[in-house]
Amino acid sequence: MNGAESLVRTLLAGEVDVCFTNPGTSEMHFVAALDQVPGMRSVLVLFEGVATGAADGYYRMAGRPASTLLHLGPGLANGLANLHNAKKAGSGIVNIVGEHATGHIALDAPLTSDIEGIARPVSHWVHTSRTAAEVGSDGARAIAAARTPPGQVATLLLPGDAAWDAGGIVAEPVTPPERAAIPDAAVDAAAEMLRQPDTLLLLGGVALGEDCLDLAGRIAAATGCALLTEWSNARLERGAGRVAVSRIPYPVDQALGVLAPYRRIVLAGARPPVAFFAYPDQPGVLTVEEASFVELAGIGADIAGALDALSFSVGGDKTAPAGIAGAHRPDIPDGPATPETIAPVLGALIPEGAIIVDESVTTGRRFFAETNGAPPHTWLNNRGGAIGYGLPAAVGAAIACPDRKVIALEGDGSAMYTVQALWTMAREQLDITVLIFANRSYRILHGELAAVGVANPGPRAIDMLTLNRPELGWVDLARGMGVEGCRVADTRALARAIEVGLATANPYLIEIEM
């Protein structure tokens, strides 16, 4: 057995059985091993940012890592933005990156680069295998690193000779660390804070799972505290029958308003809220100056156990949870598709069990209120702010959950970054309905321009934020990659198109003229 085959077998032994690949010469032995070893679902993608974003979406929904196969430094570099997003989301990924054979590196061939250096800022764990005999055990350690709570990015460099040499040894899985138990003192401090007025319980990470939200709702009922989440959540369970939580808004003035009442904040898997960007004359910290914080549980700690103990401590076990969303389907309004009118269309049509991948940017700011009462569904946000996460994450989510409908909500600007994901959706026949909000602009940046103090932007500045010259033809782009679609401009046509998309088990793209 060569090193590459030992790695594939080690990945399978560690329950890493999906690989998003974009290989080159240096990865050929790994590719060949995929044929020798049954059980690895290998999914070809046409850009590495699709591979890394898909692995992020996969982890969020499957709860275990996928692998990627990337071609040397440049292939890895193409995937960096979505590895950044995955790292911020706490998603576990095992990157396998081909490296030149050890003796070839000294020759400084065209594709030679500092791969470890490229990997390090977006990886929690980086290692280069030295020999075929070590590849298996290195792979097992990479999986354990990726499975370290809440989930980490592990990057294993596989030199050509370590892959092709005989002497590979399959390694047993290495047990990753458990989520750290929360000391009683942290629970007591949180309970003490929650007994006082003007207190907020800010939730993140696995606190946004259904059972944890139930506990948070009980804590809110027992203490009167408010519940919120950060603006971007890796995975939020929501919909009718679940405890509904609002997100802290993105615009700084709105965030400041929402957080103004709270002088005491308990953190459960969330960080103290800060603005995405600095703006002249605006604070970066979004909470009031005198706010004090108690961290109940960090993102990688036993958040569920902590919320359970906290709920018991404040008497939450004796009450019903506060804030459960009632079932409600809004009426579909008539008229042109706008951010205001699209929101109730979604609220009316999101099916039970849907996975919503949200990269809607400005169009989606009103989606939450109108979709609260839809049947139970899952909502994924971009945690890292690097756009181009949505279509790839939808690929990963659909592969993780083949029995669920995936709806990708995409700004047209964001969708272009990783548009190649459509081809993989078609090739793998994934059940994804893609909504493209074709406002022909980077609309958010118009607001950002004003927010940083540019009062009268000139035509050249506006031109840098405008996507209408030429207009992107989304239905043609989709067809060219094997995805059916249609173009709509009003709410009734949009509703019909969503129904068409949801009725098929294949990908379907809807370009929404707005």
Ligand X SMILES: Cc1ncc(C[n+]2csc(CCOP(=O)(O)OP(=O)(O)O)c2C)c(N)n1
Footprint on this chain of ligand X (rule: CB under 6 A): 81, 361-363, 385-388, 411-414, 439, 441-445
Q: ∠16-21-22 over CA atoms, to 5°?
A: 160
Secondary element (H or E) of residue 457: none
> Which CB atom, from 49 or from 65, has the smaller least distance to ligand X?
49
Shortest distance, CB of residue 355 to ligand X, whole angstroms? 20
> Which CB atom, from 321 or from 364, has the smaller least distance to ligand X?
364
> Which CB atom, from 207 or from 387, has the smaller least distance to ligand X?
387
Q: For residue 150, say if its preceding peptide bond is cis, omega within 30 degrees of 0.
A: yes
> Which CB atom, from 423 or from 437, has the smaller least distance to ligand X?
437
Shortest distance, CB of residue 307 to ligand X, whole angstroms? 32
Distance CA(435)–CA(390), nearest Å, equals 11
Shortest distance, CB of residue 292 to ligand X, whole angstroms? 32
> Which CB atom, from 217 or from 392, has the smaller least distance to ligand X?
392
Dihedral class, residue 301 (left if φ above 0, else alpha if ψ from -120 to 50, else beta): beta
Question: Residue 145 in 3-state DSSP?
Answer: helix
Shortest distance, CB of residue 365 to ligand X, whole angstroms? 9
Q: Do strands 246-247 and 264-268 pair parallel, antiparallel, or not at all (unpaired)?
A: unpaired
Shortest distance, CB of residue 1 to ligand X, whole angstroms? 41
> Which CB atom, from 74 or from 224, has the smaller least distance to ligand X?
74
Shortest distance, CB of residue 363 to ligand X, whole angstroms? 5
Distance CA(439)–CA(468), nearest Å, equals 9
- For tokens 């506006």, the residue is 462
Residue in the shown chain whose Cβ atom is closest to ligand X: 411
Q: For residue 38, say if its preceding peptide bond is cis, omega within 30 degrees of 0.
A: no
Shortest distance, CB of residue 416 to ligand X, whole angstroms? 8
> Which CB atom, from 24 or from 251, has the smaller least distance to ligand X?
251
> Which CB atom, from 282 or from 466, has the smaller least distance to ligand X?
466
Six-digit token string for 14: 């560690």
Shortest distance, CB of residue 440 to ligand X, whole angstroms? 8
Environment class of 39 (CB within 10 Å of its CB; exposed 0-12, middle 13-18, buried 19+): exposed
Distance CA(86)–CA(80), nearest Å, equals 10
> Which CB atom, from 335 or from 447, has the smaller least distance to ligand X?
447
Burial call 385-418: b when 16+ CB within 10 Å, e when fewer: ebbbbbbbbbbbbbbbbeebbbbbbbbbbbbbbb
- For tokens 């040894």, the residue is 169
Distance CA(93)–CA(150), nearest Å, equals 11
Distance CA(366)–CA(284), nearest Å, equals 24
- For tokens 């092709």, the residue is 164
Distance CA(392)–CA(417), nearest Å, equals 10
Shortest distance, CB of residue 82 to ligand X, whole angstroms? 9
Do 291 and 263 meet the contact criterion of CB atoms below 8 Å apart? yes
Shortest distance, CB of residue 253 to ligand X, whole angstroms? 18
Distance CA(401)–CA(57), nearest Å, equals 10
> Which CB atom, from 79 or from 136, has the smaller least distance to ligand X?
79
Shortest distance, CB of residue 443 to ligand X, whole angstroms? 3
Do 263 and 238 meet the contact criterion of CB atoms below 8 Å apart? no
> Which CB atom, from 306 or from 386, has the smaller least distance to ligand X?
386
